[in-house]
Structure 1
Amino acid sequence: RDEGPPAEVVEVSTFLHACEGDAVTKLTNEKVPYFNAPIYLQNKTQIGKVDEIFGPINESYFSVKMFEGVIATSYNEGDKFFIDPMKLLPLSRFLPQPKGSTPRGGGRGGRGGGRGGFGGRGGFRGRGAPRGRGPPRGGGRGFRGRGRF
């Protein structure tokens, strides 16, 4: 899954300090990095991955889990870190306001609605009402559903 260095990198953060072997950096990009996104230096040397993102939305920080042999303390405050622009998410993803995002979540619910394939089980009930009398409502399937949980 390691695709080598990207065609271009954009500045994503500046180094603040090292903490327990990780680099703590301040987000300078208006977009937010993916978790585990590779972090590079300007020369596209990969130094680590995005580990945790924290802080308020208008002033975010993230820690970089350094690769073997990369020492977080070797960087100075203000050193710039870079990222593949494809590995950035727009902030709007994390904000409640756009109504567009709720249906997306709804889409997720819809997938859960796929789990409402349980609803499908209801359909089962209707179809095989006589059958339904024997095993509790298409029992085999109810089982499978439980396994899915």
Structure 2
Amino acid sequence: MRPPRGGGFRGGRDGGFRGGRGGRGGPGRGGRGFGGGGYRDEGPPSEVVEVSSFLHASEGDAVTKLTNEKIPYFNAPIFLQNMTQIGKVDEIFGPINESHFSIKMMEGIVATSYAPGDKFYIDPNKLLPLARFLSQPKYDSLDMYG
């Protein structure tokens, strides 16, 4: 790393040793990685699958029981069957074989307006297989060779 240009502790073009705006990055340092962007609204998905059923409201969120064999991504959009977005996955909790999750409702949508058993839906691309959360067996490297 090169020393700051001019100004010493007081500033100068690059802000000296305090403050500053950060470097511009050399070769291979630019960008934000993984697609290089923040959140963008992807709009409604082409299809949705059932993911959970409503249990009760709690502190403005909807608490639901997972009905799909896969686990939803955090912050994945949650829809009604007509593909109207109602909120996002907030917290996932409970045992692996009987998981629940809460939905942070969108502004203007009230969790208490749903009845127990109401179904919620998700884009199938926003689900992870359960195997991702289970511990994989460790193989001894010597056993692999006979």
Task: Output the TM-score relative to the length of structure 2.
Answer: 0.67
User: Which of 91, 105, 110 pairs up with 1:52?
Assistant: 91
User: 1:85-124 alignment to 2 at 5 Å?
Assistant: 85-98=124-137
* Equivalent residue number for residue 31 of structure 1: 70
- Please state how far the C-alpha of 1:99 moved relative to its aligned partner: 5.0
Question: Unaligned 5+ residue runs, structure 1?
Answer: 101-149
* Equivalent residue number for residue 131 of structure 1: none
Deviation readout 1:23-46 (Å, 9 max, x if unpaired): 000000000000000000000000
Higher helix fraction (1 or 2):
1
Whole-angstrom CA distance in 2 between matches of 1:98 and 1:43: 42
Task: Output the TM-score relative to the length of structure 1.
Answer: 0.65
How large is the Cα RMSD of the aligned pairs?
1.2
Query: Percent identity among equivalent residues?
Result: 82
Deviation readout 1:107-148 (Å, 9 max, x if unpaired): xxxxxxxxxxxxxxxxxxxxxxxxxxxxxxxxxxxxxxxxxx
* Equivalent residue number for residue 109 of structure 2: 70
Aligned residues: 100
* Equivalent residue number for residue 84 of structure 1: 123
Asked if residue 18 in structure 1 is aligned to residue 49 in structure 2, the reply is: no
Question: Unaligned 5+ residue runs, structure 2?
Answer: 1-39, 140-146
Equivalent pair of 1:49/1:66 in contact (CA under 8 Å): yes
Deviation readout 1:86-117 (Å, 9 max, x if unpaired): 000000000003559xxxxxxxxxxxxxxxxx
